[in-house]
């Protein structure tokens, strides 16, 4: 007798996020990802602030503006590249770890599982899940973290520039 495929819909549970975080490498790999994302964002904000100061300066021809701008731009490029490279390595490692766990579970499944589950369904499930973990999930998570830090950095910069913005931001 062929077993029906279990489907779940709705929100993603906290256990799922926790297992992905552990597959990613946990805190030892998560902290460098957050630090590199933060440094890249801080460098990009630093470039913007420096250009704004340079544009408002009365002595725009001074020799210190360009070298500092170049150093900030280089640091933004460097941290942005390191951020993307390290994040994708960590997130691809999570995908590989989850795939290996899934394959191990299928290989250790009792014979009754294979008697009741068509082989095509097992292959489709593994390839769809691996494709999702390889292609969509790392980019989505990376984009989410990057956008979150962009918004955080923008709000922080607005609060520094105008302290009264803190009153408007407090409810958020």
Backbone angle region of 164, left / alpha / beta, with phi > 0 → left and psi within -120 to 50 → alpha: alpha
Q: Please tell me the predicted confidence (pLDDT) of residue 4.
A: 66
**pTM of the predicted structure, to 2 decimals:** 0.79
Q: Please tell me the predicted confidence (pLDDT) of residue 137.
A: 86
Q: Please tell me the predicted confidence (pLDDT) of residue 45.
A: 92
Q: Please tell me the predicted confidence (pLDDT) of residue 2.
A: 60
Q: Please tell me the predicted confidence (pLDDT) of residue 70.
A: 95
Give dist(CA 28, CA 142) in Å, integer.
Answer: 17
- Ranges under pLDDT 70 in the chain: 1-8
* Distances 169 to 107, 144, 164, 172 between C-alpha atoms, Å: 52, 20, 9, 5
């Amino acid at each position: 007798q062929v077993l029906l495929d279990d489907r779940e819909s709705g929100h993603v549970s906290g256990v799922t996020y926790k297992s992905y975080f552990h597959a990613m490498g946990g805190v030892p790999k998560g902290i460098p990802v957050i630090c590199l994302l933060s440094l890249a964002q801080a460098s990009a904000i630093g470039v913007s602030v420096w250009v704004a100061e340079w544009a408002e300066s009365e002595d725009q021809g001074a020799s210190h503006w360009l070298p500092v701008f170049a150093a900030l731009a280089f640091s933004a490029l460097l941290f942005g590249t390191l951020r993307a490279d390290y994040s994708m390595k960590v997130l691809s490692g999570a995908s590989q770890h989850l795939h290996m766990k899934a394959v191990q579970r299928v290989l250790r499944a009792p014979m009754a599982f294979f008697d009741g589950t068509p082989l095509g369904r097992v292959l489709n499930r593994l390839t769809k899940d691996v494709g999702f973990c390889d292609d969509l999930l790392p980019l989505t998570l990376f984009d989410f973290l990057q956008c979150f830090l962009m918004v955080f950095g923008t709000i922080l910069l607005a609060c520094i520039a105008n302290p009264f913005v803190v009153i408007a931001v407090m409810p958020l």
